[in-house]
């Protein structure tokens, strides 16, 4: 049996990537909505072990053209440059090497240190923006302000890295819907990420957010409100050469058993009008629906979706 430390999570678009676990868990681990690493204490892995895994990964993923570094915030590790160089050596044909990173980590590392990681072979960072609204970020205990998100994202871009921002639809609930949508667009405008990826918040069983929701401190949005939020976000977006993707099943909306929405996709600003049209048509369809309108939150509550 091959000994290999498979990371438990990766972004959806890294499904075909060779996965290299450099750390275990999340050094922050306090976001109210996140249950990913709740039972795990953060642990950097020894350089020797990681290098051994990279050597093994060449055989596990012989056709991989992309490599993803896990878990949630590995770039701050003292050995990260050496690890990335080793990945580059063992996967010489890799088209991209990417990692999750917290905005505060990118901010702390700064453009000069990030440029060294870029030179070593890192090409892209995936950052959970979640929201550009200060109150929403504080409520969710994200541990970063909109200014931190801008500073971290800007440092990554200045270092020559591609930047993928994840925006969490529903993060502000009913009460901060407008501020969350507009604030998130303004942070994206300030940084101009290469990718914006939308995923929809599901209040997971056992999460701290569920406790807040049960105490009436968070009011989740209905399916049509989620679409209105995406529309407001898109209306305020003013970015160039940026790909917007909704590459997660949590974005899906059904009428009875028919899927009527799977998110918007396209290049900005080129395809903005088309994406607005998709949203307007879906909103109209939902307003006239005779059947039951369902989103991933409702499906999760009913036990019809279990894995997020």
Point out which residues bind ligand SF4 (CB under 6 A).
Answer: 26, 28-31, 34, 36-37, 72, 102, 128
Cβ(94)–Cβ(65) below 8 Å: yes
Measured from the CB of residue 25, what is the shortest distance to ligand SF4 in angstroms?
8
Shortest separation between residue 73's beta carbon and ligand SF4, angstroms? 7
Provide CB contacts within 8 A for 192, sequence distance 6+: 157, 239, 240, 241, 242
Q: Which is nearer to ligand SF4, 128 or 183 (CB)?
A: 128
Q: Which of 52, 69, 81 is nearest to 18 (CA)?
A: 69
CB of 36 or CB of 186, closer to ligand SF4: 36
CA distance 68 to 63: 14
Give least dist CB 141 to ligand SF4, A: 8
Residues 84 and 46: their CA atoms lie apart, in Å, by 14
How is residue 157 written in tokens? 């871009």
Q: How far is the CB of 152 from ligand SF4 (least distance, A)?
A: 12
To the nearest 10°, the Cα dihedral for 142, 80, 20, 125?
A: 50
Minimal distance in Å, beta carbon 35 to ligand SF4? 8
Q: How far apart are CA 166 and CA 157, in angstroms?
A: 16
- Note whether 53 and 78 are within 8 A (CB): no
State the DSSP string of 63-107: T-SEEEEESS--TTSTTHHHHHHHHHHHSTT-SEEEEE--HHHHH
Is 121 or 146 the residue whose CB approaches ligand SF4 more closely? 146
Alpha helices by DSSP H, 144-219: 146-158, 177-191, 208-214
Q: Rounded to whole angstroms, what are the CA distances from 126 to 10, 40, 47, 71?
A: 10, 21, 23, 12
CB of 260 to ligand SF4, least distance (A): 29
72 or 246, CB closer to ligand SF4?
72
Q: By C-beta, is 102 or 199 nearer to ligand SF4?
A: 102
Q: Which is nearer to ligand SF4, 86 or 102 (CB)?
A: 102
Residue 127 or 255: which CB sits closer to ligand SF4? 127
Q: From the CB of 104, what's the least distance to ligand SF4, in Å?
A: 9
């Amino acid at each position: 049996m091959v000994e290999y430390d498979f990371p438990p999570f990766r972004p959806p678009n890294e499904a075909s990537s060779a996965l290299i676990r450099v750390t275990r868990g999340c050094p922050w681990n306090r976001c109210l909505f996140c249950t990913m690493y709740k039972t795990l204490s953060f642990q950097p892995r020894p350089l020797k072990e990681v290098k051994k895994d990279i050597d093994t990964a060449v055989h596990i993923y012989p056709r991989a053209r992309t490599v993803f570094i896990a878990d949630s915030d590995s770039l701050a590790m003292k050995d990260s440059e050496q690890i990335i160089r080793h990945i580059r050596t063992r996967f010489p044909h890799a088209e991209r090497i990417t990692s999750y990173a917290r905005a505060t980590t990118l901010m702390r590392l700064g453009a000069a240190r990030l440029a060294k990681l870029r030179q070593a072979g890192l090409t892209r960072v995936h950052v959970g923006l979640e929201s550009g609204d200060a109150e929403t970020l504080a409520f969710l205990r994200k541990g970063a302000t909109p200014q931190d998100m801008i500073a971290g994202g800007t440092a990554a871009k200045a270092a020559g890295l591609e930047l993928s921002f994840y925006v969490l639809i529903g993060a502000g609930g009913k009460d901060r819907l407008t501020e969350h949508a507009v604030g998130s667009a303004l942070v994206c405008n300030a940084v101009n990420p290469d990718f914006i990826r939308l995923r929809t918040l599901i209040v997971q069983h056992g999460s701290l957010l569920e406790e807040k929701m049960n105490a009436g401190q968070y009011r989740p949005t209905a399916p049509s409100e989620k679409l209105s939020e995406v529309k407001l976000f898109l209306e305020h977006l003013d970015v160039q050469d940026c790909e917007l993707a909704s590459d997660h099943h949590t974005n899906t909306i059904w009428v009875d058993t028919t899927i009527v929405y799977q998110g918007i996709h396209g290049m900005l600003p080129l395809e903005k009008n088309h994406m607005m049209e998709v949203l307007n048509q879906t909103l109209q369809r939902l307003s006239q629906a005779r059947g039951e309108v369902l989103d991933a939150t409702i499906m999760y509550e009913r036990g019809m979706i279990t894995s997020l």
